[in-house]
Chain A
Amino acid sequence: QKEVEQDPGPLSVPEGAIVSLNCTYSNSAFQYFMWYRQYSRKGPELLMYTYSSGNKEDGRFTAQVDKSSKYISLFIRDSQPSDSATYLCAMKRSGSGGYQKVTFGTGTKLQVIP
């Protein structure tokens, strides 16, 4: 079983729709949760960073963490064609030597259709 599971999609939605992206994880040692956006042939760009269970909002983006269910979500309101990208969830825990260890999901490819 992978430590982090993410549906690869692709997910196609019409412009203006609310998008829901999700990841589940199995390792309760994960403490920090991130969402990255990756455009085609580009590096990942950090979108959201959360620690505690609950919701964190930034503009059209809301990150939700449920540690009891080991489930995280990213919601995109009023989706735009420019949101078309691959969205990677990522989680951090302390690794050997105290260094952070980041585990990524495989990413969900999102296409927002005008």
Chain B
Amino acid sequence: DAMVIQNPRYQVTQFGKPVTLSCSQTLNHNVMYWYQQKSSQAPKLLFHYYDKDFNNEADTPDNFQSRRPNTSFCFLDIRSPGLGDAAMYLCATSREARSTDTQYFGPGTRLTVL
């Protein structure tokens, strides 16, 4: 089945220790998004890639970086996780970036920072 896959589903890291979250998709979509969702809060867009073009949200901290080596994969790097970065991280894709294009979400990676 075509889908958005996130690995790992659960990640535990130590304060300040870099961590990488992975997202892959078999939908062959051009756009990939990373969202941060804290408990009982709305998903918050961090950035997105349209093909190889990176688009950062203005309020995304520099601590968060992303890489998209090819169409199928996108990574979220947190350089120095703080306690406030503990959250669910959601990857989503859409075929194009137009308003009519639906975003499809992966199952998420829940990050715990000790």
Contact = CB atoms under 8 A, between A and B. Distances in A.
Contacts, number: 58
B27 interface: no
A16 interface: no
Contact of B90 (A31, A43, A46): A43
A88 B110 CA distance: 19
Q: Which of B40, B42, B107 has the most CB of A within 10 A?
A: B42
**Chain B, interface size: which category?**
20 to 34
B42 A107 contact: yes
Contacts of A81: none
A32 B40 contact: no
30 contacts: A8-B40, A32-B99, A41-B88, A41-B108, A41-B110, A43-B92, A43-B105, A43-B106, A43-B107, A43-B108, A44-B90, A44-B105, A46-B103, A46-B105, A49-B102, A88-B42, A92-B99, A93-B99, A97-B55, A98-B97, A98-B98, A99-B48, A99-B97, A100-B97, A100-B98, A100-B99, A101-B45, A106-B40, A106-B41, A107-B40
Interface of A: 4, 8, 31-32, 34, 36, 41-46, 49, 88, 92-94, 97-107
Given A43-B92, A104-B42, 12 more contacts: A31-B99, A43-B4, A43-B106, A43-B107, A44-B90, A46-B105, A49-B102, A88-B43, A98-B97, A101-B45, A103-B42, A105-B42
